[in-house]
Structure 1
Amino acid sequence: MIRVYAGLALWYLVLSLLTFGVYWWDKRAAIHGNWRVPERTLHMLALLGGWPGAWLGQCWLRHKTRKASFRVIFWLTALLNLLLPVALWWARWE
């Protein structure tokens, strides 16, 4: 079970770094008026495990913080990700 959690932690780390980079890229594009990353892509990265990087991108870069509907979906993706380790732990006991 420890390998599962270690693998999950590594997955979250890699996806978080990637997601933060995409947020940085999108913020830069917004400033310069260039092609933007679709919100759907940002949400998918967060859902796949990059939500910590997305959260840091929102805080540190002040990106995607004004649109309430975006933030609601983001926090739902974070909640789903936080429930995954709990579900794995719960399944261990059954």
Structure 2
Amino acid sequence: MDLLNPEYVTYWLIAVNFATFAAFGIDKAKAERGARRISEASLLQWAIMGGTPGAYAARHLFRHKTRKQPFSGNLQMIAVFQVAVAGLLIFLAVAR
């Protein structure tokens, strides 16, 4: 089983971005109710697993965690790292 098969990667990215988007939405709802929140570390872990687009979409839609530092900086570093890795993988695939 080739876990880096484009089909599996696509399914993973869809699932993890949906979960990340949902986690941000749930955290925003909890914040509005004054309930116990999802930790920033957990939200960043979802982004690290590939959910960065979902995180940015949720931040924009829910207006959540948009001004929090260092959270915003950490999310941006994750995004830059992921773009660099994706670029490297594409380069290596084309270079074959």
TM bucket, shorter chain: 0.7 to 0.9
- Structure 2 residue 49 is the aligned partner of structure 1 residue 48: yes
- Structure 2 residue 22 is the aligned partner of structure 1 residue 14: no
CA RMSD of aligned residues (A): 1.6
Structure 2 letter corresponding to 1:81 = Q
TM-score by length of 1: 0.87
Q: Which has the higher contact order (CA 8 A, sep 6+)?
A: 1
TM-score by length of 2: 0.85
Unaligned ranges ≥5, structure 1: none
Q: How many equivalent residue pairs? A: 92
**d(CA) in 1 for partners of 2:15, 2:86:** 17
Identity among equivalent pairs (%)? 27
**d(CA) in 1 for partners of 2:89, 2:41:** 27
Structure 1 segments (4+ residues) deviating >6 Å: none
**d(CA) in 1 for partners of 2:68, 2:17:** 21
